[in-house]
Each structure stands twice: as structure tokens, then as C-alpha cells.
């Protein structure tokens, strides 16, 4: 082969090699069903800066609950306050990359929790990649004075499960609606006023009060459990899940200790009761959307409920410890 | 020489004569090997029993160790790992309520995002704590 031929062949092979390197990720990109505007929203968190008021409407035990939040956000730092007259008046939440602090003025308490971040959106994207949801985009409406793009989340049968309205330049979620199996709106949040990129004082993201009682999630769990004479079971930190909140519920008249856990892998509820539970019935009511693992331990019936697969729930059951 | 005479005199003394008489009167038994034979038989029996015991111990010691380890493992399994799903009969209303509760937790968590989650929070009790609306800010 002459020198000219060798140079020519190298000159041909280098671009081909580079085009092959580039085609790998491009193919994956094509297979990713997440619309561009939602991808932008997924990555926008650390850059978002705004001050706004948002309305939240949910149905709690069949009853509509509505409240307003005043939100100040600068990247991973968020401060939430409540308007005068709100049921949460006086409470303040400050979340940083490290932790979430929730101040209750009536008891002079600061509850320290793990940060929430925008986990829900990332989960949505993962579920779309797994083929559990179908996500599409459409034009949105003007909300709180800003133009939006709409993201529609449907199940495999084509039922709309969520509508998300995103300000396309910033990637901010301006409105979100969640629907149940029969199309009833069960949850909504919507900004009613919004100022993008204002100047924000960093001191707003400090929440300290001398004399306030600092409470960890496990302290609350112990307190809730003790109120009904329960010895609380909980997921060890080594499971990767962190306790968000716990409360006592009385469905069917039986006392049930409920704990809600979160991690990057998902969320789940742990139920603990002295009553009997039928795992088959629990699975049946899950309708395949949530899985259940139930077992008996130390005189209690325990059940882990989440969208993790059965084997994962079973493994998590091994991470259960009992407190005093 | 004098010494020799003296020793002979002693040997012929009355004390020596008495001892000589005693020895002469001791009965002269025939040598018997019967006791030796019975001893051999007993040794033979013992020799058969010992390997039997050794063989038993060879089996029993590890078996007992294994049984102890199994019992310990069983106790630990019962105490530490949750048993498989319990089969019980219930009306189903509690199960339905718990699944509904979890679904509600998820919806609330999605809607609340970084904000307050009504499932975890509680309304402020206006009868407790500082009432900032009544604070006279002018006097501060």
C-alpha cells in the first residue's frame, strides 16, 4: 500500500470511528421516551431561582384540603412559609442540599428530616423508561403570567394519570395535576404568582431558633408508637431508605402504625399492627400497581407496601429492627 | 578367722532355728496360671469395648456439634428473619384501607414536592405558642 493510500485510509477511518462513538449515545437518546421539556425540568433544579405563591389541593381521607405556600427557591435551597390565616400559619420549612428543617411555632419544635429534592420527577422518568407509563408533550397554557409546555403522563391503556406544566426556559414546574384510575383529580399544585430570577438573600435559608426542641424522625416514631403501646419496627438506615414521617392510623377500628420511607430507588410505606393481615388480599387491592410483603414478627403483623418488586420488599424486610 | 567363727555361732542360735522351722513349715503350693487366664479374658473383653466406644464417639461428637449448631441457627432464624407470608383469614377491609393509605401517601408526596405534606404535617394550634399577630413590634 502506498503512503498516499495509507494516509487516505486513515483519513477515512478516523471520522467513521468518531461517528460510531457518537452513534451509541444517540441511539439511547432516541429510545428515551422522556420529552425534551421534561428532561430540561429534571436538570433545572440546581439552577432554579424564583419567588412565588402556589396553591395546593389534595383529597385527604375523601375530604378536599386546600392551602397556600409562599415559596422562595435558590438552586438546592428552598424556603416555604404560609400565608396569614392558613392552617399552617407560622410554620416554616427550609430545605438545603444537606437537610430539611420544619419549624412548628405552637410546640416550639424543629423537625429535622432528610432532603426531599424533586425525586418525583426522576421517578416518573425512570418509570417511562421501563415502559410503565407513556409520556408525551403538548402546548400548555399561560399560568401565573408565564407561558408553559405541557407533559402528559398516561398508563398503558391510555388513561391520563398526570398533567405537568413547565416553563420551558427555566424548566420550572408551574402546575401539576394528578388523577386517579377513573380520571378524578386527586392532587393539584399551581403557582398563582411567580417572579423568576429575583435577588434572594441567602440568610433566608437558615432556620435556627434558640430554645426550640430539635426532633429527628425516629423521635417522632417513638412518640407515636408509645401513644398506643407499640414497640416500633423500623427500616435500618443501611437499607438505603430514610424515614420521612410516621403516624397512627385507625382504618377498620384497628390501630396501625404507619411509616413512610423514601430513597432514590423509590418510596414505600411500612405498616405495623396487632391485627391480622391477609397478604393475598393486600396484593389483590394493590391491583398490580403496588406490591406487598407481609409477615409476622414479635407479635405484630408487618407489611411493606410499595412499587418495588416482591423480592426487593422481601430483602427490605430483613432490614427491620425493633426499637424500645 | 575369728570373725568367721563368730558368724557361724550366730547362725546356729535359737532365733535362727525358729525362723528355719517356720520356713520349712510353709506349704509348698503348685504354680497355677488360672488367674492369668481370667485376666487375659477380661482384658480381651475390655479391648473389644474400647474401639466400640471410640467409634460411637467418632459419630456422636460431630453429630452433637451439628445438632447444636442447627438448633442455634433455628433460634436465630426465628428471632431475626421474618417468617414467610402469614396465611390468615380477614374481612379484607383493613387490607384495602392500608393500600389506599399508601396510594394517598404517594399522591400527597408527589403534589407536595418540596412543600408541606398534609399526611406528615399538622395544622398549627393557634392556642399554643407565640402569637406574633399580637406582638407590639413598635415596642421591640
Please give the pLDDT value at position B100: 87
CB-based contact B88:A278 (threshold 8 Å): yes
Q: Does B77 touch chain A (CB under 8 A)?
A: no
More confident residue, A240 or B92: A240
d(CA A157, CA A150): 20
Do residues A108 and A91 make contact, with C-beta atoms less than 8 angstroms apart? no
More confident residue, B29 or A58: A58
pLDDT at position A63: 82
pLDDT at B32: 67
Contact list in B for residue A166 (CB cut-off 8 A) is none
Query: What pLDDT is stored for residue B82 in this prediction?
Result: 47
Contacts of A252 in chain B (CB under 8 A): 91, 93-94, 97
Mean pLDDT of all residues belonging to chain B: 72
> Measured between alpha carbons, how far is A291 from A303 in angstroms, rounded to an integer?
10
Terminal-residue alpha carbon distance, chain A: 82
- Which residue from A296, A100, A47, A223 is spatially nearest to B87, judged by alpha carbons? A296
Which position has the grid cell 503512503?
Answer: A3
Q: What is the pLDDT of residue A3?
A: 56
Q: Does the CB of B61 have a partner CB in chain A at under 8 Å?
A: no
- Give the DSSP letter of residue A143: B
**Torsion angle of C-alpha atoms B39, B40, B42, B47, degrees rounded to 10:** 140
The Cα B128–Cα B122 span in angstroms is 13
Quote the CA–CA distance of A233 and A103 in Å, as a whole number. Answer: 26
Q: Could you list the beta-strand ranges (E) of B1-140.
A: none
Q: Is the pLDDT assigned to residue A110 strictly greater than 50?
A: yes
- Residue A262 reports pLDDT greater than 60: yes
Q: Which residue of B has its CA nearest to A176?
A: B111
Grid cell in block for residue B2: 575369728
pLDDT bucket at A26, cuts 50 / 70 / 90: very low
pLDDT tens digit string along A59-89? 877 788 899 999 999 999 999 999 888 899 9
Angle of helix A279-286 versus helix B93-112 axis, rounded to 10: 40
| Cell of residue A154, nine digits | 398516561
Q: In whole angstroms, how far apart are CA B52 and each of A49, B23, B62?
A: 87, 50, 16
The dihedral of CA B33, B35, B41, B47: what is its sign?
A: negative
Q: Specify the range with the lowest mean pLDDT, choosing from A145-159, A203-217, B116-130.
A: B116-130
Least confident among A99-103, A130-134, B93-97: A130-134
Average pLDDT on A98-106 reads: 94
Of B102, B110, B129, the CB nearest to A187: B110
Residue of A nearest to B125 (CA): A106
Asked if the model's pLDDT at residue A12 lies above 50, the reply is no
pLDDT for B121 beyond 50: yes
Q: How confident is the model at residue A137 (pLDDT cuts 50, 70, 90)?
A: very high
Residue B90: pLDDT band with limits 50, 70, 90: low
For chain A, the average pLDDT equals: 86
pLDDT at residue A207, rounded to an integer: 94
Secondary element (H or E) of residue A185: strand A185-196
User: Does the structure show a pLDDT above 50 at A19?
Assistant: no
CB B70 within 8 A of CB B62: no
Q: Are the beta carbons of B115 and A56 separated by less than 8 Å?
A: yes
pLDDT given at position A28:
46
* pLDDT the model gives residue A9: 52
Which of A42-51, A127-136, B16-25, B27-36 is the most confident on average? A42-51
pLDDT class of B88 with cuts at 50, 70, 90? very low
Rounded mean pLDDT, A314-322: 94
Lowest pLDDT segment from A128-137, A159-168, A201-210:
A128-137
Kindly state the greatest CA–CA separation across chain A: 90
Chain B environment of A292 (Cβ under 8 Å): 99
Residue B81: pLDDT band by 50, 70, 90 thresholds? very low
Percent of chain A, pLDDT > 90? Answer: 61
**Number of neighbours of residue A182 by Cβ within 10 angstroms:** 6
Identify the pLDDT of residue A2: 52
ipTM: 0.79
Instruction: Quote the pLDDT of residue A199.
Output: 96
Q: pLDDT at position A315, please?
A: 94
**Residue A187 main-chain phi, psi, to 5 deg:** -155, 145
Q: Which residues of B touch A65 (CB under 8 A)?
A: 118
Whether A90 and B112 lie within 8 Å, measured CB to CB? no
Closest to A190 in 3D by CA, of A46, A79, A57, A40: A57
Question: What distance in Å separates the CA atoms of residue A180 and residue A191, rounded to the nearest whole number?
Answer: 22
Amino acid at each position: 500500500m502506498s503512503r498516499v493510500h495509507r494516509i487516505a485510509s486513515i483519513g477515512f477511518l478516523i471520522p467513521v470511528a468518531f461517528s460510531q462513538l457518537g452513534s451509541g449515545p444517540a441511539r439511547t437518546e432516541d429510545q428515551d421516551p422522556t420529552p425534551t421539556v421534561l428532561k430540561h425540568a429534571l436538570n433545572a433544579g440546581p439552577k432554579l431561582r424564583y419567588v412565588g405563591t402556589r396553591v395546593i389541593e389534595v383529597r385527604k381521607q375523601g375530604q378536599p384540603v386546600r392551602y397556600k405556600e409562599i415559596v422562595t427557591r435558590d438552586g438546592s435551597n428552598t424556603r416555604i412559609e404560609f400565608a396569614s390565616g392558613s392552617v399552617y400559619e407560622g410554620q416554616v420549612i427550609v430545605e438545603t442540599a444537606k437537610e430539611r428543617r420544619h419549624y412548628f411555632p405552637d410546640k416550639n419544635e424543629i423537625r429535622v428530616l432528610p432532603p426531599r429534592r424533586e425525586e418525583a420527577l426522576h421517578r416518573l422518568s425512570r418509570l417511562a423508561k421501563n415502559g410503565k407509563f407513556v409520556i408525551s408533550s403538548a402546548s400548555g397554557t399561560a399560568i401565573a403570567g408565564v407561558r408553559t409546555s405541557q407533559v402528559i403522563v398516561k398508563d398503558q391503556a391510555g388513561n391520563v394519570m398526570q398533567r405537568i406544566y413547565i416553563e420551558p426556559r427555566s424548566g420550572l414546574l408551574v402546575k401539576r395535576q394528578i388523577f386517579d384510575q377513573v380520571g378524578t383529580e386527586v392532587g393539584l399544585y399551581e403557582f398563582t404568582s411567580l417572579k423568576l430570577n429575583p435577588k434572594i438573600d441567602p440568610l433566608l435559608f437558615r432556620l435556627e431558633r434558640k430554645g426550640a426542641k430539635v426532633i429527628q424522625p425516629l423521635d417522632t416514631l417513638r412518640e407515636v408508637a408509645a401513644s398506643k403501646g407499640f414497640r416500633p419496627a423500623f427500616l435500618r438506615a443501611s437499607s438505603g431508605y430514610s424515614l420521612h414521617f410516621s403516624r397512627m392510623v385507625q382504618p377498620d377500628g384497628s390501630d396501625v402504625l404507619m411509616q413512610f420511607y423514601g430513597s432514590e430507588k423509590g418510596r414505600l410505606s411500612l405498616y405495623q399492627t396487632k391485627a391480622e393481615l391477609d397478604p393475598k388480599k393486600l396484593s389483590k387491592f394493590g391491583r398490580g400497581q403496588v406490591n406487598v410483603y407481609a409477615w409476622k414478627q414479635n407479635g405484630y403483623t408487618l407489611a411493606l407496601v410499595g412499587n418495588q418488586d416482591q423480592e426487593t420488599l422481601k430483602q427490605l424486610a430483613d432490614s427491620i429492627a425493633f426499637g424500645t | 578367722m575369728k570373725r568367721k567363727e563368730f558368724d557361724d555361732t550366730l547362725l546356729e542360735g535359737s532365733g535362727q532355728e525358729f525362723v528355719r522351722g517356720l520356713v520349712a513349715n510353709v506349704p509348698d503350693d503348685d504354680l497355677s496360671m488360672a488367674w492369668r487366664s481370667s485376666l487375659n479374658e477380661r482384658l480381651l473383653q475390655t479391648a473389644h469395648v474400647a474401639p466400640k466406644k471410640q467409634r460411637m464417639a467418632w459419630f456422636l461428637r460431630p453429630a452433637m456439634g451439628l445438632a447444636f449448631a442447627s438448633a442455634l441457627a433455628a433460634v436465630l432464624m426465628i428471632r431475626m428473619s421474618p417468617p414467610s407470608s402469614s396465611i390468615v383469614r380477614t374481612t379484607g377491609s383493613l387490607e384495602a384501607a392500608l393500600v389506599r393509605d399508601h396510594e394517598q401517601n404517594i399522591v400527597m408526596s408527589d403534589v407536595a414536592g418540596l412543600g408541606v405534606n398534609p399526611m406528615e404535617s399538622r395544622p398549627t394550634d393557634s392556642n399554643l405558642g407565640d402569637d406574633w399577630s399580637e406582638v407590639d413590634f413598635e415596642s421591640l
